[in-house]
Amino acid sequence: MKRRGDFKSGGFLVLEILIAGLILTAGIAATMYLFRMGFEHLEKARISNTLSAKLVQATGLIRSLDLEKVSGTEEMGEGVTLKWNAGVLSSMMPVSAEKKEASSFLYHLLLYQVEFTLSAQGVSRDYSMHVLRYKALQTTNEPTS
């Protein structure tokens, strides 16, 4: 004949196993979610690092572009795209100190403001920079006497 105490402790053993299984399952699910979130954030950090590394290359490229086009798109490699817009902020034609005539203009100075966006895989960063350009207009070759 079984005692009552033995029967109850056997029933509690099954209930304890079920609760432990639920706790273990919840812990595994939470761990899997955290790993997934970690990989997503790691991928975003990799994309951000790629954009940061391309920034130096982008500023050099912008300095060499024909800014009179006003806008354009360039592929930078590694899935990075550069989109830019340029506008003239200021224009100036300095005169030489000897002659204050319109014919003594040697060059034309242009100050551009360039706004550009670097983007890769849905992540984009906006930047702005100034570019100074000059155009040689004429040279003053005065005859020597």
pLDDT at 36 exceeding the cut of 60: yes
Provide mean pLDDT across the span 133-143.
69
The strand order across the sheet containing 107-120 reads 71-77, 80-92, 107-120, 123-136
CA distance 129 to 63: 10
Q: What pTM, to 2 d.p., does this model score?
A: 0.66
Is the model more confident about 7 or about 131? 131
Q: Write a three-state SS string for 66-123.
A: CHHHCEEEEEEECCEEEEEEEEEEEEECCECCCCCCHHHECEEEEEEEEEEEEEECCE
- Domain ranges within the chain, ordered by starting residue: 4-136
- Contact, 108 vs 137, CB < 8 A? yes
Confidence bin at 107 (pLDDT 50/70/90): confident
- Please list, residue by residue across 17-41, b when 16 or more beta carbons sit within 10 angstroms of its beta carbon and e when fewer do: eeeeeeeeeeeeeeeeeeeeeeeee
Residues 48-103: pLDDT tens digits? 999 999 999 999 999 999 998 999 999 999 999 999 999 999 998 876 666 555 55
Q: Which of 57, 116, 59, 112 is nearest to 90 (CA)?
A: 112
- Contact, 134 vs 109, CB < 8 A? yes
- DSSP SS3 for 124: strand
Residue given tokens 């204050």 in the structure block? 100
The whole-number pLDDT of residue 145 equals 45
The whole-number pLDDT of residue 106 equals 78
The whole-number pLDDT of residue 102 equals 54
